[in-house]
Structure 1
């Protein structure tokens, strides 16, 4: 059995996986009539590179393999993105994702641990994922396991105080196997981050908390792969990748309207979105 990730693919295929993942997100949320399409679209390349770009070590046929790397979707409302990636990676039958948000389906609107293989934490109450990540790191130390923990944060949830308590504790414990990725799309459900609760100067804040900070184009799979490789050698402190992204990336009218944060496209809108996504082949 392979001790690392599933097969690492090239740049063109990573971009194609990201395109197909967006189509899955579109179809899932449109069928459900609810969900968070634009929040999932903004982080699609990030999650694609994690699972298919040679970053995460995992075994889909052994989801609780003790030495696996952990990925925690702290911005749990982007669950459609996580489900699409896990299905493509082979954790479960892809047909399951079409039951998103149905009563009695394990494919809930936010990830729930132990309902779906590959889901490492129950998330969606924003601000808690980074704390869970610190716990995974400390648990690994106690069990002499050499795995890395990746936590995807939303920028809106960084308004929560618990994120900064977790950031402080991660630096205190020198959690160098912890990597946070910030989906910095500059919007939250109610509007621009800068208007609702400004986060800047963001780089300086994370550095002042004792973190190694790098920035990346969150839609450039080459840049993402490079930055993930770079931080793998950082010792003595946790790392955060601030990924500059576009909310609703890939569909022009979704990019232009932040209110798609928490509402699905209509069937008619979905057809237009599908046309745009198919044109990017």
Structure 2
């Protein structure tokens, strides 16, 4: 079965290079009309260029349809205008890949609050802005596919990236609520945690690894997660052609009563509290309360 995007309109943020560019090119090859959004700045979020227009020219040269957009994801009004332009030209917006991002790495001890806020604003608030701008259109269409971009840093931590990690785990959390709120309107929301050799990571990889982790090797997961038959509420790792699933789990836990209902009791039963035997993957936040209720009922 071939996955196609004919008659679909896709927006890809941060699509002037790296992963976003590869997403945009492959979506167009498979029939989508693509809004290529990029400010054209460097990886710290400064400067500007015509990167988005160059990707549009690549798409058009190959026979596809695309438009460039230089709006900032941090400006909600600009995101609203971007969606409106796509609707005016092509009649709707069906797919959104939230890919725009920046890096301002330092240890937390040396990081300025402004650099923490800026990175969170671009990644987390920026993705929320773009998603909110497209949300009502997707509800009206009874169709939407949204992809958030998390990171192994957000899921598991990485030295020197407190701002980036906080934003990225926030995006996984945003997915977990939006998939619930969008379900009745056939809006599926997923998270990808890519590992790719791009300008964001070029000084972090040895040359051989940089080539092995080419961004196009992430594309298959991203496009599946925004396809017609996509799953929803998934966290998918992708890098170098390897694809993984990541989960937020909950252990059965331990009911403490009497004298054990104390810090000392938590310490005493810590091994049982953290025992992963029988852990679950809740479908929503209510899963935690339900598991507690089961314990109270003697289960």
> TM-score range with shorter-chain normalisation?
0.3 to 0.5
Q: TM-score, normalised by structure 2?
A: 0.37
With the length of structure 1 as denominator, give the TM-score of the two structures.
0.39
Larger radius of gyration: 2
